[in-house]
Amino acid sequence: MSVSETTAPAASRWPDLLRRVAGGIVTLAITVLGLLLVTFVIGRVVPIDPVLSIVGERATQEQYEAARQALGLDAPLWQQFYIYVRDALHGDLGMSIRSQQPVLTEIARRFPATLELATLGTILGVILGVPAGVLAATKPGSIADQVVRLVGLVGYSMPVFWLGLIGLLVFYGKLDWVGGPGRLDASYEMMLEFTLTRYTGAILIDSALNGAWDMFANAVTHIILPAGLLGYVSMAYISRMTRSFMLGELSQEYITTARVKGMPEWRVIWVHAMRNVSVPLITVVALSYAYLLEGSVLTETIFAWPGLGSYITDALFAADMPAVLGGTVVVGVVFVTLNMVSDIVYRLVDPRART
């Protein structure tokens, strides 16, 4: 076999790889453009006048027209959309009407709190949900299976705000096992504002890096209840999907062959079956993580958690549409990014997806 024959397959893979990368970039660009179009339309059809929110109801007509012109609302819609997309691509999501601060700056200050809460909740959901789903799948119809399914049913059936209120009433109000609403006690909030060096915005990480272990312990008491609540919701979804995936794999012929050969049961389940289950499970975990990042509005409101969800909610009640739309864009970009990351990991784990 000649050298050209051996190098031809390797060389032919490069155009295909470039086509995939280009296709992914085009898909991402179209998705983000569609997201910007949707938020732009929402900002124009909602019955809230952004000019009136800025100048107030007692402003003169000249002041109103001047503010409207400064915001570019007197231009044609296509030009307004062009300016909106151009500014968003440059990181300009507008100015908050309430604080007169850049929306992106406020979101960057709030997002680490949501990221910390959702990440811890997802970790708890995976640690508890995957073994629970495997246990239920390996013993179908047993008491363990029924318990796992019942716990999962309660998790994705009960309203999150109700579970949060009950958790606060029992564990904070009655038993005093956890901290109250907020990320820290009031005394530590002052320390966080003036003496703590901020590295990431996540209190658990920053307090540990600063060696402020008393603040770290206080932050744990505050985050454990809302993170546990989100972890329970995540666990309910992950355990259900893990059980479904594992039941499908355990009925395959290669599992029967492995058992006939005398392979230990733990190896059959956790090595051979889990290898195939982990492929679709990656997408499940990514979707659960995205849901916690964007859907923890009620949890953040109940626990007075200063994250992105509560920021969008407060902005909505204050008719601060630049903040609402900016937060929506960030949530959409995070969701699209997590989907892309899960797709990449999916291809790395499953060789069949690369062919």
Query: Is the Cβ–Cβ distance between 273 and 255 less than 8 Å?
Result: yes
What pLDDT, on the 0 to 100 scale, is given for residue 63? 76
Domain residue spans in the chain?
3-89, 110-354
Residue 254 three-state SS:
helix
Secondary structure of 116-176 as H, E, C letters: HHHHHHHHHHHHHHHHHHHHHHHCCCCHHHHHHHHHHHHHCCCCHHHHHHHHHHHHHHHCC
What pLDDT, on the 0 to 100 scale, is given for residue 64? 75
Q: Which candidate, 314, 313, 320, places its Cα nearest to that of 98?
A: 320
What pLDDT, on the 0 to 100 scale, is given for residue 272? 83
Q: How many CB atoms lie within 10 A of CB 308?
A: 27
What pLDDT, on the 0 to 100 scale, is given for residue 5? 46
- pLDDT tens, residue by residue, 76-85: 778 888 888 8
DSSP state of 18: H
Task: Specify whether domain 110-354 bears CATH 1.10.3720.10.
Answer: yes
- pLDDT tens, residue by residue, 210-253: 888 988 999 999 999 999 999 998 999 999 999 999 988 888 88
Report the b/e string of 70-91 with b at 16+ CB within 10 A.
ebeeeeeeeebbeebeeebeee
| Residue ranges for the chain with pLDDT beneath 50 | 1-8, 10
What pLDDT, on the 0 to 100 scale, is given for residue 6? 46
DSSP state of 104: H
Query: Is the Cβ–Cβ distance between 102 and 92 less than 8 Å?
Result: yes
Give, in order, the Cα–Cα distances in Å from 71 to each of 54, 106, 319. 10, 20, 16
Q: Which two tokens stand for residue 232?
A: 């329970």
